[in-house]
Amino acid sequence: MKLLVVEDDRTVGQYVKRGLEEQQYIADWVGDGVEALRLASAGHYDLMILDLRLPGMNGLEVLRTLRDRGITMPVLVLTAQDGVEFKVDALRGGADDYVTKPFAFDELLARVEALSRRPRQLTARVLRVADLELDLDARTVTRAGSAIELTPKEYAVLEYLMRHPGRVMTRTLITEYAWDYHFDPGTNIVDVVINRLRKKIDALWPQKLVHTVRGVGYVVKP
């Protein structure tokens, strides 16, 4: 795989590039948004790691322009902006995953590996798993054509799971995405929302889509 690392901090950019190369990836590093857009638009890269704060053109502008051009290359956002609004904006803008700084390189690598295994059509504005559809623009959910009403938190959790179909997502990752705070092992807030999703999404259909992997987390899959 050939990766494009877009990071205005030279130290961080070179660190990520070197780490990827040690894992036998081909990686290039650039430090500004305009050059990143030019290179990414050429179609020579399989995946991009993108910072949001960039000179010339910020990361969200780069991301949205790529998606507007129909470029479906997976994009992993890597940034110090850890507020939930930044995560939501990035994901709605077309990002496939999100890692905040400071970060462990092993986690970054694992997410790159996971993205490299995903079908490219997952960057579409409608997420589909079996007969379940989530429209990212209209913020609607349907199953077999029937509308399903969800609360904002239920929608956020389902969206996160459907962006990673077939991949088990831990309670920690779900909590940090949907509630924007570090996981408290004593809370059952994720389990409560998952149970509500099951009642709305799976109760009326024989094929169950929301699954529990005991001791690990949750996954949406046929």
Confidence bin at 71 (pLDDT 50/70/90): confident
Are the C-beta atoms of 61 and 16 separated by less than 8 Å? no
Query: Mind listing the pLDDT tens digit for each residue in 186-217?
Result: 678 899 999 999 999 999 999 999 999 998 89
Q: What is the pLDDT of residue 215?
A: 86
Query: Mind listing the pLDDT tens digit for each residue in 25-68?
Result: 999 999 999 999 999 987 789 999 999 989 989 999 999 888 87
Query: Mind listing the pLDDT tens digit for each residue in 120-164?
Result: 544 447 888 999 999 877 889 999 999 999 998 999 899 889 988
Encoding tokens for residue 85?
A: 């609004």
Q: What is the pLDDT of residue 144?
A: 93
Q: Which has the closest alpha carbon to 159: 174, 171, 170, 148?
A: 174
Q: Which of 89-93, 145-149, 173-177: highest mean pLDDT?
A: 145-149
